[in-house]
Amino acid sequence: MILEKVINRIEIQSEYKDFVDKYIDHILAEFKGKIHSIYMCGSIPKGTATPFKSDADFTIVCVNPKDIDYERLSNIKDRLLKEYPFITKIDTIICSIDDVLSKPNEWGFWVKIICVCMYGHDIGEKVPPIIISPTFILDLNTETKEEVDRVRRSLSTASDHTMKTRYIKGYSKRLIRALYSLVLIDTCVWEDDIIEMKNAILTYCEIDSALIDYLYACYLDNNVLVEEFLGIAEKVYSYFENALNAMAASRTPLD
């Protein structure tokens, strides 16, 4: 089964169009000649964004990610967040052309399936069709442990309530996304709606449903006890890791 693109048509709501145009213009002006293409994913390009609740998710593809200075990028974000306060936050991922083409089941998947091209030539068109298989799922999760460890450390040391809430929401979504990847062979489609992910996990994963309900509740709540959350998150990740290892062990040469 071949994975289809999550967003087939860009339908940005009128109140977000000016913001998206300005972000792209600022990026191109700040990093002249260094940008290959710019992409978006999530609710804004889908046309389902909610003011003061939805964030903006961009991906920049360039020849050399080191050409994109994070401080200058952060300054652009800060200026735009002041100008458009209904955007909760702006996330920007940076990767290289080589990342996309040499890692089709990781960066290739992200650009080809999850994102839509907003500027430049869509390099996702050069990524071969992505076939759902144990190998794809394992490749997709190559960096999951590193990402989970990083956000766990950040949450453990965060002192600001706003940052704790942000890390908990991000950690919850990352774990739900990881678990959902395990059931792709059953669903045959990548969902980016967290409720659909949750429901599929509850249907196809042999995991305590209370753990998933708790993670989803933490994704929605602003007042979560950090120590309790970390304990539950550890149980969920342990289940995920064991399932991923079992998948790797049962792989056949054709997978």
* Cα gap 103→114, rounded to integer Å: 15
Question: Where do the domains of the chain lie?
Answer: 14-130, 138-249
pLDDT the model gives residue 253: 64
Q: What separation in angstroms does the CA of 152 have from each of 5, 90, 155, 229?
A: 30, 21, 5, 10
pLDDT for residue 255 is more than 70: no
Q: What is the largest CA-CA distance in the chain?
A: 54
CB 49 within 8 A of CB 143: no
Give residue-wise pLDDT tens across range 96-109: 999 999 999 999 99
Q: Distance between CA atoms of 236 and 229, rounded to whole angstroms?
A: 11
Q: What are phi and psi of 225, to 5 degrees?
A: -75, 120
Q: 14-130: what CATH class?
A: alpha beta
Place of tokens 């956000």: 151
The 10s digit of each residue's pLDDT in 145-198 is: 999 999 999 998 888 888 898 899 989 999 999 999 999 999 999 998 899 999
